[in-house]
């Protein structure tokens, strides 16, 4: 890229120089980040000839997003837009078993409801009018019924639909009109991620494909749909082969705030009972994601073995079933020797399945047969949203990489390299942008290697010295993968004029379960050492300017920025987003407390209280001296805003240069377009102040 010459300079959203190169490409601006079409949830038709998917557009000026359903041929031809209601959100397309209709959810009538559109033409028709909204719908195998999710007040759930729906509507209106906004709680899990649950429960409903009153299939004071994304995957419920039952992922019946015993349960579509049949009662850890084979004789689902451990390895379980979904024998693992966690999965026809799993900083598609023989596919990047035709011969999926956003791909052989992009929603924009490919490197750490992505900026000149942006991922059981993000986008950071490093230290997924588990109870130990080895590796590179190094991270990455404050002076500045600062206050204010209890071996008053103190950043405040930007949001119930406030108070009292940005209308992430633009503007301005961007001659950087 050093052959490229500057032709034109202009101004970006943030006042930095935009470089346009001789080949007509230019670095990505944050405006470009919002200009990308966001392609999601591809679904292949039963005959494998078409794929339906959702495309979301961002209107940054209006601070809004809208989405529509598109359809593309899996063989040839241009994609076409199937739905088009400006300013509304159509999503979650699902094909009818005969392939003639598409079911989707939309807010075009106000509340999210289900709609059906005929592929032969005509307008979409509204199917549901339930006052609590309808989402995540699926068809029954016989095409006569549709099941969906709605969050309702459980005390009304055993009443006839007209009566219960009226009661739910009345309760909702009373809350909205009441000048008293007090919330009263008598049990935990009263809030989750960024919302108050308000004693609602997510129930499964079944409605005729021709419309009419839905039936609450899972009445009672329990969720029949995962409340935590940790235990959700693909379709979290399904009809039995005979269309007479729903098989679903149920939330623990008791102690759900510190219990991971998600179960596979069964209930007749006629409903009527609060006592659902549990099909996985032998497993006290999590089970989720039931999926029947095309002939209806076998069921697969994911399962963990250790109760309370959300990062335990997910295995793919198989069991023979009768037409009603009842188990014939005990489930068995078909991935017992696979040293990774199964994520999404679909049947591939016959005795084969496809699944995704984190692996070496990417997420490829694997093939496994019912005998447990696993094969890894060749496609690079990050794959997800798998969908197969009825016979399994055609697979569509969402594919992305660090330098390209998600698009819809089709293949008949994931083990090969014949996948084709059939959506091409961002073809024109991508042709204009210089989005460098990152390099994967290995860094020697205690006991082996750490994988790390190194992304150089557009127009990189190796003879110059460049500043470093060292980004630590969240989780901690997660990874920097070769995939696209609209929140923390490494290409956007590199385009500002930084070498961006994305390390995968101890705790990262995709490098074996032992590597994952070596962070539990040791957040500031081996993981911190791994990260410091990564910094040393980068410092040894001739083009890294050691006087302009910055680090940033969110969630666990934010924790590590707080830990860096008290344990290293390598960085000119630190940026922490929604990070853990005080382990004890974190435990008492977060919602999924099973996570903290596993990480620390119990609650703070339990058998291992020293774990809460040993690696808590607040205990090392006397060493704080690095300028720091703090971002924390009021609706973050995973890592509550008090963590950021404590940190800011401490830094201000110590007179360490610091700035606290608080979004009162955001949760763990900053998702609203205008807020996200502001976030990027502030982050890059802070970086520029303490670690100025751009390449400099060696003598200039001294």
**62-88 per-position pLDDT tens digit:** 999 999 999 999 999 999 999 999 999
> 3-state SS string over 571-614?
CCEEEEECCCCCHHHHHHHCCCHHHHHHHHCCCCCCCCCHHHHH
pLDDT of res. 235 = 87
pLDDT of res. 193 = 87
Q: How far apart are CA 113 and CA 207, in angstroms?
A: 12
For residue 565, the surrounding DSSP H or E stretch is helix 556-567
In this structure, are strands 345-347 and 352-356 parallel, antiparallel, or unpaired? antiparallel
pLDDT at 482 over 70: yes
pLDDT of res. 16 = 42
From residue 639, give the alpha-carbon distance in Å to each of 519, 631, 633, 652, 670: 18, 12, 9, 21, 14
Q: Which two tokens stand for residue 665?
A: 């209308």
Distance of CA 140 to the CA centre of its chain: 27
From residue 51, give the alpha-carbon distance in Å to each of 46, 48, 67, 394, 681: 10, 8, 16, 10, 37
Let me know how many helices (H) and strands (E) the chain has, helices first: 12, 40
Maximum distance among all alpha carbons in the chain? 79
Residue 700: which pLDDT band, with cuts at 50, 70 and 90?
Answer: low
Residue 271: which pLDDT band, with cuts at 50, 70 and 90?
Answer: confident
Question: Which class for 183: exposed (0-12), middle (13-18), buried (19 or more C-beta within 10 A)?
Answer: exposed
For residue 566, the surrounding DSSP H or E stretch is helix 556-567
pLDDT of res. 272 = 76
Mean pLDDT on 356-381: 94
pLDDT at 274 over 60: yes
Mean pLDDT on 5-31: 57
pLDDT of res. 27 = 96
Report yes or no: 627 and 657 within 8 Å, Cβ to Cβ.
yes
Residue 10: which pLDDT band, with cuts at 50, 70 and 90?
Answer: very low
pLDDT in tens, 163-199: 999 999 999 999 999 999 999 999 899 998 899 988 8
Q: Which two tokens stand for residue 179?
A: 């000048």
Higher pLDDT, 18 or 381: 381
Q: How far apart are CA 207 and CA 147, in angstroms?
A: 6
Of 21, 48, 124, the residue nearest 82 (C-alpha): 124
> b/e per residue, 530-563, with b = 16+ CB within 10 A?
bbbbbbebbeeeebbbbebbbbbbbbbbbbbbbb
Helix/strand/coil for 82? coil
Q: Where are the alpha helices (DSSP H) in 48-179?
A: 161-177
Q: Compute, in degrees rounded to 10, the torsion defined by CA atoms 253, 150, 637, 181.
A: -110
Q: How far apart are CA 591 and CA 639, in angstroms?
A: 9
pLDDT in tens, 79-134: 999 999 999 999 999 999 999 999 999 999 999 999 999 998 889 999 999 999 99
**Average pLDDT of the chain?**
94
Q: How far apart are CA 500 and CA 678, in angstroms?
A: 21
pLDDT of res. 234 = 82
Mean pLDDT on 616-625: 98
Q: Which two tokens stand for residue 336?
A: 């017992």
Boundaries of every domain in the chain: 434-690
pLDDT at 9 over 60: no
Q: How far apart are CA 259 and CA 272, in angstroms?
A: 26
Percent of the chain surpassing pLDDT 70: 96
Of 663, 596, 660, 662, the residue nearest 311 (C-alpha): 596
Residue 702: which pLDDT band, with cuts at 50, 70 and 90?
Answer: low
pLDDT of res. 14 = 40
From residue 590, give the alpha-carbon distance in Å to each of 48, 199, 626, 640, 644: 44, 17, 27, 6, 13
- Please name every residue paired with 398 in a beta bridge, in sequence order, or none if there are none: 384, 408
Residue 24: which pLDDT band, with cuts at 50, 70 and 90?
Answer: confident
Chain position carrying tokens 């899990």: 189
pLDDT of res. 21 = 55
Percent of the chain surpassing pLDDT 90: 91
Q: How far apart are CA 329 and CA 331, in angstroms?
A: 7
Q: Say which CATH architecture domain 434-690 belongs to.
A: 3-Layer(aba) Sandwich (3.40)
pTM over 0.85: yes
Q: Which residues contact 648 (CB under 8 A, 6 or more apart)?
A: 630, 658, 660
pLDDT of res. 1 = 33
Q: Which of 21-25, 179-183, 188-192, 467-471 has the lowest mean pLDDT?
A: 21-25
pLDDT at 306 over 50: yes
For residue 382, the surrounding DSSP H or E stretch is strand 382-388
Q: How far apart are CA 450 and CA 441, in angstroms?
A: 8
- Please name every residue paired with 633 in a beta bridge, in sequence order, or none if there are none: 663
Q: How far apart are CA 238 and CA 293, in angstroms?
A: 11
Give the E-state strand segments of 460-589 in sequence order: 466-472, 499-504, 544-554, 573-577
pLDDT of res. 432 = 97
pLDDT at 203 over 60: yes
pLDDT of res. 418 = 83
Mean pLDDT on 529-535: 98
pLDDT of res. 23 = 75
pLDDT of res. 424 = 97
> b/e per residue, 89-123, with b = 16+ CB within 10 A?
bbbbbbbbbebebbbbbbbbeeebbbbbbebeeee
pLDDT at 334 over 60: yes
Of 286, 184, 181, 195, the residue nearest 638 (C-alpha): 195
What DSSP assignment string belongs to 622-672? GG--S-EEEEEETT--SS-THHHHHHHHHHHHTT--EEEEEETT--SS--S
Q: How far apart are CA 533 and CA 501, in angstroms?
A: 12
- What sign results for the dihedral spanned by CA atoms 533, 453, 685, 64? negative
Q: Which two tokens stand for residue 352?
A: 């084969």
Residue 184: Cβ within 10 Å count: 6
């Amino acid at each position: 890229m050093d052959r490229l010459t500057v032709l034109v300079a202009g101004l970006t959203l943030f006042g930095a120089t935009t470089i346009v190169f001789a080949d007509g490409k230019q670095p990505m601006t944050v405006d470009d980040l919002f200009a990308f079409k966001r392609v999601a949830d591809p679904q292949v038709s039963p005959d494998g000839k078409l794929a339906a998917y959702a495309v979301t557009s961002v209107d940054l000026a209006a601070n809004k997003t809208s989405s529509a359903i598109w359809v593309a041929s899996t063989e040839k031809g241009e994609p076409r837009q199937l739905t088009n209601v400006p300013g509304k959100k159509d999503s979650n397309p699902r094909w009818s078993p005969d392939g003639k209709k598409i079911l989707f959810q939309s807010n075009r009538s106000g509340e999210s409801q289900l709609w059906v559109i005929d592929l032969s033409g005509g307008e979409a028709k509204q199917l549901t009018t339930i006052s609590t909204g309808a989402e995540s719908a699926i068809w029954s195998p016989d095409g006569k019924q549709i099941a969906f999710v709605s969050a309702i007040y459980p005390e009304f759930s055993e009443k006839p639909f007209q009566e219960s729906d009226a009661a739910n509507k009345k309760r909702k209106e009373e809350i909205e009109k009441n000048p008293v906004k007090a919330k009263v709680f008598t049990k935990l899990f009263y809030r989750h991620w960024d919302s108050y649950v308000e004693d609602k429960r997510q129930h499964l409903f079944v409605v005729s494909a021709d419309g009419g009153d839905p039936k609450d299939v899972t009445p009672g004071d329990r969720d029949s749909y995962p409340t935590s994304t940790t235990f959700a995957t693909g379709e979290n419920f399904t009809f039995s082969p005979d269309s007479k039952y729903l098989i679903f992922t149920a939330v623990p019946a008791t102690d759900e705030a510190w219990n991971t015993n998600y179960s596979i349960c069964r209930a007749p579509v006629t409903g009527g009972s609060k006592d659902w049949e549990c099909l996985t009662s032998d497993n006290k850890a999590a089970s989720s994601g039931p999926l029947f084979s095309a002939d209806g004789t076998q069921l697969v689902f994911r399962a963990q073995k250790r109760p309370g451990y959300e990062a335990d390895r997910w295995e793919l379980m198989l069991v023979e079933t009768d037409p009603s979904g009842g188990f014939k024998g005990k489930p068995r693992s078909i991935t017992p020797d696979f040293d990774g966690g199964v994520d999404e999965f679909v049947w591939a026809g016959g005795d084969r399945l496809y699944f995704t799993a984190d692996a070496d900083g990417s997420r490829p598609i694997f093939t496994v047969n019912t005998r447990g023989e696993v094969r890894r596919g060749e496609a690079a990047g990050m794959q997800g949203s798998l969908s197969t035709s009825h016979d399994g011969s055609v697979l569509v999926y969402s594919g992305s990489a660090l330098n390209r956003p998600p698009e819809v791909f089709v293949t008949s052989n994931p083990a090969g390299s014949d996948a084709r992009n059939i959506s091409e929603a961002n073809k024109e924009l991508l042709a204009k942008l210089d989005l460098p490919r990152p390099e994967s490197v290995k860094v020697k750490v205690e006991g082996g290697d750490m994988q790390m992505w190194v992304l150089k900026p557009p127009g990189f000149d190796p003879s110059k010295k460049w500043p470093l942006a060292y980004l630590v991922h969240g989780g901690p059981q997660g990874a920097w993968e070769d995939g696209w993000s609209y929140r923390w986008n490494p290409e956007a950071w590199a385009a500002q004029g930084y070498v961006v490093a994305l390390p995968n230290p101890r705790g990262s997924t995709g490098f074996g379960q032992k590597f994952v588990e070596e962070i539990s109870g040791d957040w500031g130990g081996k993981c911190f050492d791994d990260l410091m080895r990564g910094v040393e590796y980068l410092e040894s590179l001739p083009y890294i300017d050691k006087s302009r190094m910055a680090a940033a991270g969110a969630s666990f990455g934010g924790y590590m920025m707080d830990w860096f404050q008290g344990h290293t002076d390598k960085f000119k500045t630190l940026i922490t987003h929604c990070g853990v600062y005080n382990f004890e206050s974190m435990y008492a204010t977060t919602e999924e407390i099973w996570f903290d209890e596993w990480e620390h071996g119990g609650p703070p008053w339990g058998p291992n209280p020293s774990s809460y103190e040993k690696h808590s950043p607040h205990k090392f405040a006397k060493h704080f001296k690095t300028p720091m930007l703090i971002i924390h949001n009021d609706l973050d119930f995973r890592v509550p805003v008090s963590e950021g406030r404590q940190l800011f108070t401490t830094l201000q009292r110590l007179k360490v240069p610091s700035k606290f940005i608080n979004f009162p209308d955001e949760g763990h992430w900053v998702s609203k377009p205008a807020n996200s633009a502001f976030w990027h503007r502030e982050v890059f301005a802070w970086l520029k102040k303490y670690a100025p961007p751009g390449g400099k001659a060696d003598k200039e950087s001294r």
